[in-house]
Structure 1
Amino acid sequence: MSLETVVEDIRDEARERAKEIRADAEERADDLVAEAEADAEATIEAAEAEAEREVEREREQKLSSAKLEAKQMRLEARRDALESVREQVADRIAAIDGDEREELTRELLDAAADEFESDADVSVYGRADDEALISDILDDYDGYEYAGEYDCLGGVVVESETSRVRVNNTFDSVLEDVWENNLKAISARLFDEEQ
Structure 2
Amino acid sequence: MSLDTVVEEIREDARERADEIRQEGEERADDIVSAAESEADDIREEAEAEVEREIEREREQALSSAKLDAKHERMSARRDALESVREEVENRIAGLDGDEREELTRALLDDALDSFDEDEQLAVHYASGDEELLSDILDDYTHVSLAGEYDCLGGVVVESESSRVRVKNTFDSVLDDVWEDDLKQISNRLFDEQ
Q: So what's the TM-score if we normalise by structure 1?
A: 0.90
Residue 191 of structure 1 aligns with which residue? 191
Residue 101 of structure 2 aligns with which residue? 101
The more displaced of 162-171 and 91-100 is 162-171
1:158–1:167: 8 Å Cα contact kept in structure 2? yes
Residue 17 of structure 2 aligns with which residue? 17
In the TM superposition, 1:146-165 aligns within 5 A as 146-160=146-160, 162-165=162-165
Counterpart amino acid of residue 51 in structure 2: A
The more displaced of 150-159 and 131-140 is 131-140
Deviations 1:141-189 (A, max 9, x none): 2332222221111001112253332211000111122222332332233
Count residues with an aligned counterpart.
Answer: 194
Residue 111 of structure 2 aligns with which residue? 111
| Distance of 1:3 and 1:180 partners within structure 2 | 119
In the TM superposition, 1:19-168 aligns within 5 A as 19-160=19-160, 162-168=162-168
| Distance of 1:160 and 1:11 partners within structure 2 | 132
SS of residue in 1 equivalent to 2:141: coil
| Distance of 2:167 and 2:126 partners within structure 1 | 12
| Distance of 1:42 and 1:119 partners within structure 2 | 96
Please list every run of 5 or more consecutive structure 1 residues that lacks an aligned counterpart in the other structure: none
| Distance of 2:127 and 2:158 partners within structure 1 | 12
Deviations 1:17-51 (A, max 9, x none): 22211111111111101111111111111111211
| Distance of 1:93 and 1:48 partners within structure 2 | 66
| Distance of 1:149 and 1:184 partners within structure 2 | 34
Counterpart amino acid of residue 183 in structure 1: L
| Distance of 2:30 and 2:171 partners within structure 1 | 93
Counterpart amino acid of residue 145 in structure 2: E
Please list every run of 5 or more consecutive structure 2 residues that lacks an aligned counterpart in the other structure: none
| Distance of 1:16 and 1:160 partners within structure 2 | 126
| Distance of 1:81 and 1:58 partners within structure 2 | 34
SS of residue in 1 equivalent to 2:110: helix
Counterpart amino acid of residue 93 in structure 1: I
Q: Which runs of 4+ in 1 moved over 6 A?
A: none
- Percent of residue pairs identical: 69
Cα RMSD, aligned residues only:
1.8
1:116–1:163: 8 Å Cα contact kept in structure 2? no
| Distance of 2:40 and 2:159 partners within structure 1 | 87
